[in-house]
Structure 1
Amino acid sequence: MKKNLKKGFNVLVAMALASSMLAGCGGAKSTAPAAQEAEYSPTSDAYYESAATESAEYSEGEYTYNYPPENTETYEKPEENGATLVSVNPLSTFAMDVDTASYANVRRMIEDGYSASDIPAEAVRPEEFINYFHYDLNSPDKGEAFGITTEIGDCPWNEDHKIMFVGLKTAEMNNNELPASNLVFLIDVSGSMSSENKLPLLKKSLKELVDNYTGEGTLSIVTYSGEEKVLLEGENLANKKKIKKAINSLSASGCTNGESGMKKAYEIASEYYIEGGVNRVVMATDGDLNVGISDPDELENFITEKKETGVFLSVLGFGDGNYKDASMQRLADCGNGNYSYIDSMVEARKVLVEEMSSTMVTVAKDAKIQVEFNPNKVNSYRLIGYENRQMDAADFNDDKKDGGEVGAGHSVIALYEVTMADSEKAVNLKYQNNEQEDYGDEYATVNVRYKEPEADESKLSSYVVTDNDVKEKASDNMKFAESVAEFSLILSDSDHKGNASYDHVIETYSDIQTRDEYKDEFIQLVRMVEKRDL
């Protein structure tokens, strides 16, 4: 019988305190609902027709799950953004976010047989769905960290609204251009990591990274379960055979003490610190840190302090059943890093090889966006997603307030659902004083503030959205981003989903010219869920 996983996920934590210790010390397995349609079960032929499924040489990454009766996965998300009148608050301010874990994790659920009603609404973060994919965006001008692409077009799920597309992109970096790196992998080897989609997949993922890493520097491995253990310290990245031998020796047993391992990892990262290089702790876990932490805030404060030394933290999530999404997202946010979810060797290659420079090399830190809307053009706006990245307007100019971190070649997409103004409205901001300058063709100004990796003071760049950005025929960028956003609204049963439908998502996608395997996979996921919800 299928379980409805949408409600009560946080309550499960309190209900399962006794069993959570066991989950941390023993082997936890998937609790996905059984697929109703045989053709979409994880072992069926149709499942492997997805464009981005694993190639034959990685067939060992295809898993058959045994489903226990209890699921202790936990997710958190603030209340969904609502519409804001420009006359009341013309400023929308948020920290940039390049995490993609939400999309990959929900993809895992769909491929495991979940219907829309089975997927917890809190697991769906629209910005991470949208930012998972690549877009054809303008590259930065010389001396700028970000290039910008803007567009205004129709809203697919509400004919009375428009969508304003804001796309930011940093400069690409080839893997052979990577700066010297000091990488410390902090690996959870507790009993809960024994499942095939956890430590075994993690080991294959790390070997894929090692085989393809072309930069100079050192690699260290710290493991933690009942206690931390240093498996490798300061090993030359060129010694691939020795590093892979150490990775092969990893095995899962014992309980989880993430705090102890974290301190050791930062200690090693500090010892091998490379001035001007990549200094990063990469934590790989299912997030079930249930032993050894008396106060979660204490660990987060520790990580926050350490990022000021130039050592950043990224998090790789694995597995299901006892997956702790919220705790991993918070740790990555505190550590100036990104948060990814690895559900297959395909995803491992995407995150650790194809996007290696984006994952490892930060080019803009404490990055923030503030959009000022012109009340003469825009009546109201609603930012789709970024609920946990919202900032006060005054925080935008405060360099002490933390923003987001963006890697080389990363793109950040923000979609605003807007209504247009019927008449001019005066407001005491840039767009009020039309005696000095005419802003009649401007819809908004996009302000971007960020710090260079080694800097303490921020830089400011501003871009204007004008009548020239209003398009009768939407670009492929706009159409695809809208399709992904619409799908996320359906899965989360958003109060703002309007007339959103699977059919419309599929119809919009059919008009897009693309050879992107990940985008093709996306539409296959839409079709899977549509069939289950008939």
Structure 2
Amino acid sequence: MRKHLNRLLLSLIAFSLLGIPIKGLAQSAAAGKTPVKLSVSVVDDRDNVPLPGVTILLKTKQAKTSSGTLTDQLGQAEVVLDSSIVELEVAYIGYQKQRIKTNKYKTSTPLRVRLKADNTALQEVVVTGLGIQRKAAMAPAAVANVNYRSYNVANYIPQSEPNTEDYSAVNENSFHTVSSNPLSTFSIDVDRASYANIRRFLNEGNMPPVDAVRVEEMINYFDYQYTNPTDDAPVAIYTDMAACPWNTTHQLVRIALKGKDVAKENLPPSNLVFLIDVSGSMGESRKLPLVKQAFKALVNQLRPVDKVAIVVYAGAAGLVLPSTPGSQKTAILDALDRLEAGGSTAGGAGIKLAYETAAEHLVKKGNNRVIIATDGDFNVGQSSDGELQRLIENEREKGIFLSVLGFGMGNYKDNKLEILADKGNGNYAYIDNYEEARRMFVTEFGGTLFTIAKDVKLQIEFNPKYVQSYRLVGYENRLLNDEDFNNDKKDAGDMGAGHTVTALYEIVPVGAAVAQPGTDPLKYQQNKAVAGNSNEVLTVKMRYKAPEGQQSKLVTKVLDWKQQDISQAPEDFRMAAAVADFGLLLRNSEHKGNATYEQVLKLAGNARGKDEEGYRAEFIQLVKKAQLISNNHGTN
């Protein structure tokens, strides 16, 4: 029935624009002396599914419309017939119209109407600031009186499709020998879409696809109580190490970053453009309706100095709300409420229009950002990854960033959305419920929207005196060449106000047995330990740029050798290790070692801490669900 609810708005607007009153049964009686109350039910001829929002017009002898009504969510309505009513006209978008003579309905016997689908009935419709209607029915003045650009939506009926979710391959990092590869370089990542998407699968009783599991996004989903920077740098570095829980002969190194907290009132003004996918694939309850909830949560956080425009796209793109101050929340919320889904998806055109809108209202030294909400199913128009990437990269250089919110299931295109966010210097999140939307736009308002450091890169140099080999846990899609670290033209990740980033390295200490393949000793290279009696295990170097800067700054941090069991490590370290452990199990990783669900539960159970928002408690429940599913399927 859900797909039929999407058409209800069309029927309501049709009544309004045609001047047809929607009246109750008491008002429908005209001059007849013996009116008959008639119950009408309307169903789909193919499967007998009730059709809500069906138009029922009461025709008089003069063939003029006297009144009308709509079927409810059960496909039912009541009309009152008298001697002036000669015909019922039953109409529904996408179905063949039926005309029923009323002279035989002299009693209250219920009328059941079976509508047949009409694949040719859906002509082009137009969505404007006033709503949605057929293009043929619109007078030219109807568009001229609206201050919004209109856009065309074709093929309004959403069609059921097979599961076509798409994920980029994740080829896990391998161990590297320090003597031949002493440097490890990568871009930081504050995205957390993978964790929320995994949660969706597990809550539905399914294990997630292996490539949907990005361990770094799982780790960085959680709040960590790292200390705010104390110097002029916007980001602080912290390091620690302990025995690796899934292989106790190895060590686990934690490298943590903390972005400076900024009070909401001190954040720069925002120039936001909501870019919303209203194509047919977004008609499901966990897509467009949840999009509206998410953006409403954000709108309620806006200040008078902030402004928002709304661009939508389906068959083509259009501006349905011009740039509007945050003080006019009612106007913004009303525009969101008017949106309905229908049509095929021309995402590239929508992104282009959104950037044009953002550029028209650019705020110097402000937060200029496009926030796209979609399932990623770009199937019409400018849709190639290359075209979209180049467009987004060019706008990024102008100071307009792109954040991406993913929704839904079945046709979800994670691979495309991840690329868009990476190229747009923005966050990528998957919204599977309202709580996730609230966290994104209420709890972490500053971190989500306000960049304090861009192009943040890390380079770790390992000391062969202590480290035989190492493996970066996750970040497979963020690896950089070593020479990219000092190249300020190389794009990297961005950090928002208050954001934290955690990276883990599994290291094989010197003297430990090596289970993984290695390389032959180099003939022409010298393998020298750091001079003297240094206890340094590694040096972390971080480069970052100011939000409007073009030249990077360097910050370094040294980690000294430290021997401790993971149970003695700080709470946040234990939690990060538990999440990484869980990710290895979900991937059935060749590097999972002795990892077990019991081990994850023990680690996480002892690392819950205050957990004010309940995310760590939820994690424990997800681990238990995965364990149950795994046992039922005989995996892991």
Residue 79 (structure 1) aligns with: 171
Instruction: State whether structure 2 residue 613 is matched by structure 1 residue 526.
Output: no
1:160 Cα deviation after fit: 1.3
Deviates more, 1:285-294 or 1:511-520: 511-520
Instruction: Measure, in 2, the Cα distance between the counterparts of 1:101 and 1:431.
Output: 42
User: Structure 1 stretches of 5 or more lacking a match?
Assistant: 1-21, 26-66
Instruction: State whether structure 2 residue 398 is matched by structure 1 residue 309.
Output: yes
1:177 Cα deviation after fit: 2.6
Task: Name the CA shift for 1:215/1:317 in 2 (closer, same or farther; >3 Å).
Answer: farther
Q: How many residues align?
A: 463
1:506 Cα deviation after fit: 0.7
Task: Name the CA shift for 1:345/1:415 in 2 (closer, same or farther; >3 Å).
Answer: same
Deviates more, 1:72-81 or 1:360-369: 72-81
1:430 Cα deviation after fit: 12
1:515 Cα deviation after fit: 2.7
Instruction: Measure, in 2, the Cα distance between the counterparts of 1:329 and 1:216.
Output: 30
Report if aligned partners of 2:170, 2:214 keep a CA contact under 8 Å in 1.
no
Partner of 1:185, secondary structure, is: strand
Q: Deviation string for 1:287-341 (max 9, x for gaps)? A: 0001112632011111111100000000000000000000000011111111001
Residue 551 (structure 2) aligns with: 457
Partner of 2:247, secondary structure, is: coil
Report if aligned partners of 2:271, 2:367 keep a CA contact under 8 Å in 1.
yes
Partner of 2:438, secondary structure, is: helix
1:433 Cα deviation after fit: 5.5
Residue 539 (structure 2) aligns with: 445
Partner of 1:110, secondary structure, is: helix
Report if aligned partners of 1:483, 1:505 keep a CA contact under 8 Å in 2.
yes
Deviates more, 1:365-374 or 1:523-532: 523-532
Deviates more, 1:367-376 or 1:142-151: 142-151
Residue 180 (structure 2) aligns with: 88
Aligned partner of 2:561: which letter? Answer: D
Instruction: Measure, in 2, the Cα distance between the counterparts of 1:363 and 1:228.
Output: 32
Residue 593 (structure 2) aligns with: 498
Residue 272 (structure 1) aligns with: 361
Aligned partner of 1:465: which letter? Answer: L
Task: Name the CA shift for 1:430/1:246 in 2 (closer, same or farther; >3 Å).
Answer: farther
1:109 Cα deviation after fit: 0.7
Bigger relative contact order (CA 8 A; separation at least 6): 1
Partner of 2:580, secondary structure, is: helix
Instruction: State whether structure 2 residue 172 is matched by structure 1 residue 70.
Output: no
1:76 Cα deviation after fit: 0.9
Partner of 2:618, secondary structure, is: helix
Instruction: State whether structure 2 residue 280 is matched by structure 1 residue 191.
Output: yes
Report if aligned partners of 1:175, 1:213 keep a CA contact under 8 Å in 2.
no
Instruction: State whether structure 2 residue 560 is matched by structure 1 residue 466.
Output: yes
Correspondence for 1:400 among 482, 489, 507: 489
Task: Name the CA shift for 1:294/1:349 in 2 (closer, same or farther; >3 Å).
Answer: closer
Correspondence for 2:609 among 501, 505, 514: 514
Q: Deviation string for 1:60-93 (max 9, x for gaps)? A: xxxxxxx978311011133110001101101000
Instruction: Measure, in 1, the Cα distance between the counterparts of 2:607 and 2:212.
Output: 27
1:279 Cα deviation after fit: 0.2
Deviates more, 1:321-330 or 1:72-81: 72-81
Partner of 1:533, secondary structure, is: helix
Instruction: Measure, in 2, the Cα distance between the counterparts of 1:205 and 1:429.
Output: 57
Residue 31 (structure 1) aligns with: none
Partner of 2:300, secondary structure, is: helix
Aligned partner of 1:267: which letter? Answer: E
Residue 419 (structure 1) aligns with: 508
Task: Name the CA shift for 1:513/1:297 in 2 (closer, same or farther; >3 Å).
Answer: closer
Deviates more, 1:425-434 or 1:86-95: 425-434
Q: Deviation string for 1:72-120 (max 9, x for gaps)? A: 1011133110001101101000001100000000101111111x3xx21
Task: Name the CA shift for 1:236/1:331 in 2 (closer, same or farther; >3 Å).
Answer: same
Report if aligned partners of 1:285, 1:318 keep a CA contact under 8 Å in 2.
yes
Instruction: Measure, in 1, the Cα distance between the counterparts of 2:443 and 2:245.
Output: 32
Task: Name the CA shift for 1:439/1:414 in 2 (closer, same or farther; >3 Å).
Answer: farther
User: Structure 2 stretches of 5 or more lacking a match?
Assistant: 1-118, 123-158, 513-520, 632-636
Residue 169 (structure 1) aligns with: 258
Task: Name the CA shift for 1:251/1:347 in 2 (closer, same or farther; >3 Å).
Answer: same
Deviates more, 1:132-141 or 1:245-254: 132-141
Aligned partner of 2:559: which letter? Answer: V
Task: Name the CA shift for 1:292/1:404 in 2 (closer, same or farther; >3 Å).
Answer: same
Instruction: Measure, in 2, the Cα distance between the counterparts of 1:415 and 1:143.
Output: 26
1:146 Cα deviation after fit: 1.5
Residue 178 (structure 1) aligns with: 267
Instruction: Measure, in 2, the Cα distance between the counterparts of 1:495 and 1:293.
Output: 39
1:185 Cα deviation after fit: 0.7
Report if aligned partners of 2:218, 2:580 keep a CA contact under 8 Å in 1.
yes
1:139 Cα deviation after fit: 1.7
Report if aligned partners of 1:79, 1:387 keep a CA contact under 8 Å in 2.
yes
TM-score normalised to structure 1 length: 0.84
Instruction: Measure, in 1, the Cα distance between the counterparts of 2:335 and 2:443.
Output: 24
Report if aligned partners of 1:151, 1:469 keep a CA contact under 8 Å in 2.
no
Aligned partner of 1:457: which letter? Answer: Q
Instruction: Measure, in 2, the Cα distance between the counterparts of 1:431 and 1:403.
Output: 32
Larger radius of gyration: 2
